[in-house]
Amino acid sequence: GAIVIAGTTHFSAAGEIFRSYAGIASKTGRCATFSQDANGFLPSEGAAAVVIQRAGDAVSSPYAKIRGSAVGQDGRSPNFFAPNASAQTALLQKALKNAGAHPNDISYFEAHGTGTPVGDAIEISAINNVFGGKRTRPLILGAVKALIGHTEECAGLADSREGLLKAILCLKNNVIPPQPHLGRINQDFDLVPSRITIPRTVKAFGHIDRPRLVGVSSFGLSGTLAHIILEEPEQNTSSDEAAASEPTQPNIFTLSARSEPEFVALLERFCNYALSVDPLDASLAATCRTAQIGRDHFSYRRAWAVSSWNDLHACLESANQCPSPVRSTRRPKLSLYFCTESSSLRPIEHPVYDQVLAECNAAGLTRAPMQYFAHQLALARTLQAMGCIIGAVGGEGVGEYVAAAFAGVFSLETLASILASVTAKEDQCQVITCPRDVLDEHLLSYGPDEIEVVGRSGLHATCLSSPSGALEGLKKSLPSDASVINSPSLAFTLSEDAVPELKPHSAQLTIVSSHLGTAMPQDVVTSANYWTGLPGREFDIAEAIDMLATEGSLVVSLGPSPLVSATPDRKRVVTYDDNWLELLARVYEVGFDLDWSRVGAGEGPRVHMPSYYWCRDEEAS
């Protein structure tokens, strides 16, 4: 349904001169509405906006409902600054009629209350004309201009505590604040006919046997008069019920700010919010949905994959101990690294993922080893569909063929033929973490037919392959601080007879060669010799990862790799370990605007959450 955003601002650099000469501005610099000491209003500035929508179309529970309203004109009056009591009386009568309400139905009245003796007296008189003798309970009267001044054109809305918004907050929080600077009430006011009471302390605004109604007046200097009657929303709206009934499932909660100080303040607000929420009444899915599609996304970001309110609070509390938001990139790119194996074949729920898997199956990528690569290709295409721009790709061992296929060098059918021609060596394969010079010295005792260096990762990790038990003897001779990790076999052979004549196409994006450690020129990409000679080449994963990190804001390893894990600097590397939402959270943090409709929350109701924290004394980036 249609949404109306009503907003207004007021700023005046020299208007005080006019108001002072006209005698309507307070000479003491204090607005004392309804007080014996009232001597004029206090000029101020402000900006405000409200969102209005048909009740049946609302996606979250409303703060208040508009029961009825009326607009009028002051007409003839004694002078420019003296209101017309008859016009105000007619306005209130019309508003009550339009709202279908009786004067006794109004629980709280937010007056225009400028703090001028004449204006306040006439407003009280008009209220008595309409409410006098027709009430059986007190009419609580207030005017927020005594607190923040008169924002003039903005006075009907103003900031989050004046006029309409103050009345809404009274309904929401079930309290009415005291009237500032009241002192002695003006002795000329007759408060008895309408049973008017002006609070001097915080007053409870409890529920009654029917929806509470609040009246709000706003008068323009030109003579325009307006009054609106608000009704509190039902305690359990349909959207609240829908949100509360949503099943709890894993989701992503996002938090972002324009600057680090604002992020820190906002994080603390949400820590308190998550702690105060009643899980039986609030929906985690609706909360995550509101954060994803109901808030702007700024440069300083964090995101967490959560499954319960306890998860969310634990994540927020942990982050609050040492706030360190990720400074997102303006035009982020991902670099993808295709691995020899995937941690599993756990599917994700996304139509693009299903489509790519179907295409891979149709192309012949059906055997168990090939299914791992089909799974990684489907993940990569799904990341693209979610809104990620892929800047570069690379791969280890056979994974480099898969990276090339993703970049458009090979068709899926050609990739299937290549993979069908690959034979992994049935050797023992291990990654040894040890300084390269120390390891190389020990390797001098073994021949190339006993231990083969398949690849390296910088100066401290080496992948070794052995057809015999030579690795066991090598491990015994290494220093005690050396670590050994079993690895999927990265050594393989390629049957030349089984491979059709390769005709590689130009790459559609950057391919980083694990052998060269650099981005591949197009003449190398389109060279069949490079691809047929790939099995016998030693590679260095650390150099490839460094180059991928240069090409993208984040490197995503699409499966577990001991050599990737051993790279010296992994701050910009994340390994996909079957947690799709966790991966999307990391991707969001580097700056991508994701297609949230395909994340856990999807479409549905939203909820009210803490407002943004604005740091006024710091320029946000």
Amino acid at 604: G
Write out pLDDT tens, residues 40-78: 777 777 777 788 888 877 777 788 999 999 999 988 766
Amino acid at 255: L
| pLDDT above 70: residue 378 | yes
Amino acid at 486: N
Q: What is the CA radius of gyration of the chain?
A: 35
Q: Is 81 left (phi over 0), alpha (psi -120 to 50) or beta?
A: alpha
Is the residue at 493 inside a domain? no
Q: Mark whether 344 and 433 lie in a shared domain.
A: no
Burial (0-12, 13-18, 19+ Cβ within 10 Å), 477:
exposed
Q: Is 327 left (phi over 0), alpha (psi -120 to 50) or beta?
A: beta
Residue 162 has a pLDDT of 64
Residue 27 has a pLDDT of 76
Tokens describing residue 59: 């996606």
Residue 159 has a pLDDT of 36
Write out pLDDT tens, residues 541-560: 899 999 999 999 999 999 88
**pLDDT higher at 25 or 555:** 555
CATH of the domain at 465: 3.30.70
Domain housing 454: 428-486
Last residue of a domain, one of 327, 361, 391: 327
Amino acid at 288: C
Helix pair angle (85-99, 117-131), 10° resolution: 40
* C-beta neighbour count of 570 within 10 angstroms: 15
CATH of the domain at 548: 3.40.366.10
Q: Mark whether 195 and 85 lie in a shared domain.
A: yes
Q: How far is CA 286 from the centre of its chain?
A: 13
Q: Mark whether 510 and 527 lie in a shared domain.
A: yes
Tokens describing residue 47: 């900006």
| pLDDT above 70: residue 436 | yes
Amino acid at 278: D
CATH of the domain at 122: 3.40.47.10
Residue 411 has a pLDDT of 95
Write out pLDDT tens, residues 337-355: 999 875 577 899 899 999 9
| pLDDT above 80: residue 407 | yes
Distances (CA, A) of 311 to 251, 270, 316, 518: 11, 13, 9, 41
Across 353-379, average pLDDT: 93
Q: Mark whether 174 and 275 lie in a shared domain.
A: no
CA angle 47, 49, 54 (to 5 degrees): 170
Question: Which residues have CB under 8 Å from 289's CB, separation 6+?
Answer: 596, 601, 602, 603, 604, 605, 606
**Residue 25 per-residue DSSP state:** B
Is the residue at 478 inside a domain? yes
Is the residue at 465 inside a domain? yes
Write out pLDDT tens, residues 243-292: 445 556 789 999 999 999 999 999 999 999 988 876 666 788 889 999 99
CATH of the domain at 270: 3.30.70.3290
Q: Mark whether 219 and 254 lie in a shared domain.
A: no
Is the residue at 543 inside a domain? yes
Is the residue at 202 inside a domain? yes
DSSP bridge pairs for 431: 463, 485
C-alpha distance across the termini of the chain, in Å: 35
Burial (0-12, 13-18, 19+ Cβ within 10 Å), 323:
middle
Q: Mark whether 173 and 314 lie in a shared domain.
A: no
| % of the chain surpassing 90 pLDDT | 51
* C-beta neighbour count of 274 within 10 angstroms: 23
Q: How far is CA 123 from the centre of its chain?
A: 45
Strand pairing category for 422-424 and 492-494: antiparallel
* β-sheet with 251-257: strand ranges across: 251-257, 300-306, 326-327
| pLDDT above 70: residue 12 | no
Q: Mark whether 43 and 100 lie in a shared domain.
A: yes
Last residue of a domain, one of 280, 309, 327: 327
Write out pLDDT tens, residues 497-527: 656 678 899 999 999 999 899 999 999 999 9
Phi, psi angle pair for 303, to nearest 5°: -150, 150
Across 14-42, average pLDDT: 71
Q: Mark whether 84 and 134 lie in a shared domain.
A: yes
* C-beta neighbour count of 250 within 10 angstroms: 18
CA distance 73 to 80: 13
Q: Mark whether 13 and 115 lie in a shared domain.
A: yes
Is the residue at 584 inside a domain? no
Tally of domains in the chain: 4
* C-beta neighbour count of 549 within 10 angstroms: 20
Helix pair angle (368-385, 351-363), 10° resolution: 140
Q: Mark whether 114 and 145 lie in a shared domain.
A: yes
Burial (0-12, 13-18, 19+ Cβ within 10 Å), 467:
middle
Is the residue at 297 inside a domain? yes
Last residue of a domain, one of 204, 231, 258: 231
Q: Mark whether 196 and 141 lie in a shared domain.
A: yes
Residue 424 has a pLDDT of 82
On whether the CB atoms of residues 173 and 162 are closer than 8 A, the answer is no
Question: How many CA atoms within 13 Å lie on the side-chain side of 103?
Answer: 21
**Residue 229 per-residue DSSP state:** E
Is the residue at 375 inside a domain? yes
Q: Mark whether 7 and 137 lie in a shared domain.
A: yes
Q: How far is CA 31 from the centre of its chain?
A: 40
Write out pLDDT tens, residues 126-185: 999 999 999 999 999 999 888 887 776 554 454 334 678 889 989 988 899 999 989 899
Residue 297 has a pLDDT of 95
DSSP assignment of 301-361 equals: EEEEEESSHHHHHHHHHHHHHS---EE--SS--EEEEE-SS-S-----S-HHHHHHHHHHH
